Structure 1
Amino acid sequence: MIDAIAFKYRTGTPWMDLPERFGSWKGVHNRLRVWAADGTWKRVLTALLAQADAEGDLEWNVAVDSTVVRAHQHAAGARQKGPLPASRTTMPLDAPAVA
């Protein structure tokens, strides 16, 4: 069951395309949902982190690049507040006309 779930998330394949060697995709999907709802995955992660920390194997390296992180629309120069400024005339009305 865990191999099937890992395969699905590692490859990004749709549930319906899960290889038959893992059994029914519906069974795997339902088990994943039940384990997520009852806190099984949280307990597994906590236990694995505690074990790795006790053995000195826990090291956090985080890499973030622009393919993962996107700026909020306001960070891209969008107008933040207030009414739009009125358009400015480029030449005073009483200026001589150019021929």
Structure 2
Amino acid sequence: MAFFWIARTGAPWRDLPQESGKRSSVYRQFRRWTLAGLWEQILEGLHESRIVPDAMQMVGNTVVGANHPLPGS
């Protein structure tokens, strides 16, 4: 799925390969799944199944971009 390509590469939506489909359609579907809480359900299911180690985490670029160095460090 195109969502995973975006997540794996960190590329902006505008760089989605043409063979993935219309980027506005892909983004709309991603947004619907987000608003429906599907991603949380998927991650919770993976956690409960113990398929994925507890130490594995996902960090979005908004979290990384929002962190600034502390004064004096």
TM value normalised by structure 1? 0.53
1:76 aligns with 72
RMSD of aligned alpha carbons:
2.5
Report sequence identity in percent. Answer: 28
For residues 56 and 10 of structure 2, what CA distance do their matches in structure 1 show?
A: 23
2:10 aligns with 12
Structure exhibiting the larger radius of gyration computed from Cα positions: 1
For residues 43 and 27 of structure 2, what CA distance do their matches in structure 1 show?
A: 19
Tell me the alpha carbon deviations over residues 31-87 of structure 1, each in whole angstroms, 9 at most, x when there is no partner.
1111111111111110111112xx6x534168xxxxx66432xx418xxxxxxxxxx
In structure 2, the gaps of 5 or more residues are: 58-63
For residues 18 and 61 of structure 1, what CA distance do their matches in structure 2 show?
A: 26
TM value normalised by structure 2? 0.69
Moved over 4 A (4+): none
The residue type equivalent to 1:50 in the other structure is: E
Structure with the larger helix share:
2
For residues 43 and 61 of structure 1, what CA distance do their matches in structure 2 show?
A: 16
